[in-house]
């Protein structure tokens, strides 16, 4: 079983604050994806990281893949209410995607 644990599970912050979401596993993944999902909709792909130690930036979002390709983090700078949603990480191995438990983010105006 390729388990991915996300922390925190829930996060409620004020607009303008910074936050980091973590995705950890004891398994090594060939790549890792981050998604954001809004209620009643499918997840939307934010980024794919492939190389250990890789850092990718998407506007105010910074994604990092751990050196050992077992963990990843998502950092949001100056969060906005539009960032509210369920953030999911997913590791890819053996032709499957294994999803993390999810982090529910609420950004209050």
Partner 1 sequence: GAVVSQHPSWVICKSGTSVKIECRSLDFQATTMFWYRQFPKQSLMLMATSNEGSKATYEQGVEKDKFLINHASLTLSTLTVTSAHPEDSSFYICSARRNQETQYFGPGTRLLVL
59 forms part of the interface with partner 1 (CB under 8 A)? no
Of residues 35 and 63, the one with the C-beta less far from partner 1? 35
8 A C-beta contact, residue 88 and residue 102: yes
Of residues 33 and 64, the one with the C-beta less far from partner 1? 33
Of residues 49 and 107, the one with the C-beta less far from partner 1? 49
Torsion of CA 35, 101, 10, 89, to 10 degrees: -30
Stretch that binds partner 1, among 13-21, 57-65, 74-82, 97-105 (CB under 8 A): 97-105
Q: What is the DSSP letter of 60?
A: T
DSSP for 4-21, please give it. -EEE-SEEEEETT--EEE
Residue 32: other Cβ atoms inside 10 A = 28
CA distance 27 to 56: 21
Residue from the set 50, 56, 73, 75 that interacts with partner 1 by CB under 8 A? 50
Least distance from C-beta 24 to partner 1, angstroms? 14
63 forms part of the interface with partner 1 (CB under 8 A)? no
Residues in touch with partner 1 (CB under 8 A): 30-31, 33, 35, 40-45, 48, 50, 88, 92, 95-102, 104
């Amino acid at each position: 079983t390729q388990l991915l644990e996300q922390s925190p599970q829930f996060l409620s912050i004020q607009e303008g604050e910074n936050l980091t979401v973590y995705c950890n596993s004891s398994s090594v993944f060939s790549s890792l994806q981050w998604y954001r999902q809004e209620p009643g909709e499918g997840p939307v792909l934010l980024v794919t990281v492939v190389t250990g130690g890789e850092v990718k930036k998407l506007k105010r979002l910074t994604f990092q893949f751990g050196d050992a390709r077992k963990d990843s983090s998502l950092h949001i700078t100056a969060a906005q209410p539009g960032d509210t949603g369920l953030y999911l990480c997913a590791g890819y191995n053996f032709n499957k995607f294994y999803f993390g438990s999810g982090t529910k983010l609420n950004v209050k105006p």
